Amino acid sequence: MWMASNYMFMNNNKTEYLPVIPKTATATALVDGSVIRVGDATITASRFVRNLGVVIDHHLDFKKQVSSIVIVCSFHLRHINKMSRYLPMVTKERVVNAIITSWLDYCNCLLYGTSVNNIARLQRIHNSAARLILRRPRRDSAMPLLCILHWLPVPQRIEFKIIAFTYKAVHGNAPKYLSDLVCPYKPARALCSANNNLLTVVRTYVKAGDNSFVVAAATLWNVLHVHSNIKTFACLATFEARLKTHFFLLLLRLSLMFVYFYRYFS
């Protein structure tokens, strides 16, 4: 009735629905041949759907999305590599940022909590782009190259964007549908944590719930308070600059700890 009253019609050839199924279930029996009826239209189930360029699969593990990003970025990296010797480093960096980095950063918040394998595949693309710009062989370690280019690794890029969205939501600069998901922490009695600008972490019982924005935003925002006072900055540009420096310092500490334990226990 609502569609008819607004002069909207369903295109049967372009309409599909996605049943979300846990990996422990028999996905083949639940997806294949499953249909629903909406009015006179018959809609067939699909194993993955595309929304705003993002491929969402029936397990919500985003393997299909990561595979599409890897294919596109690998294609462009090969073509950029063919002309890289004719371009200065600044131009190569701009081209890579415009083509490769934009693909890695597009809707990457959805990849929060995804598998290590998915993150590793994207990180290999990121490392290849850094080696291409700096003209380094494949055997060179990628972390020093990322530091030279001042690039955050893929996991930190995902967390950076989520925290940036959270900052906007806390300060009232985000869309209402995001601001409504952020709830300030108000303890039942007077505690020191009441003045720490914390957020309430919603309790969930499934992994998909832990990866949602309402949980990820509050979790990352509260952890940020433990390490620094970045949240006190009122300017978004200053906040993002200090946040990026904060991530680089954490990576540097982890690298130093790894070198120390490697030398001590080897």
Model pLDDT, residue 200: 81
CB 62 within 8 A of CB 56: yes
Query: What is this structure's pTM?
Result: 0.82
The pLDDT of residue 160 is 92
d(CA 166, CA 213): 9
| pLDDT attached to residue 155 | 92
* Average confidence (pLDDT) per 10 residues, the chain, 266 residues: 63 73 61 68 77 84 91 94 89 92 91 91 94 89 87 92 90 85 75 68 78 87 72 80 85 65 54
- Angstrom CA distances, 230 to 17, 125, 182, stand at 42, 30, 18
Its sign, for the CA torsion 232, 236, 238, 243, is positive
Q: 121, 124, 17: which is closest to 63 by C-alpha?
A: 121
Alpha-carbon distance of 117 to 101, in angstroms, equals: 19
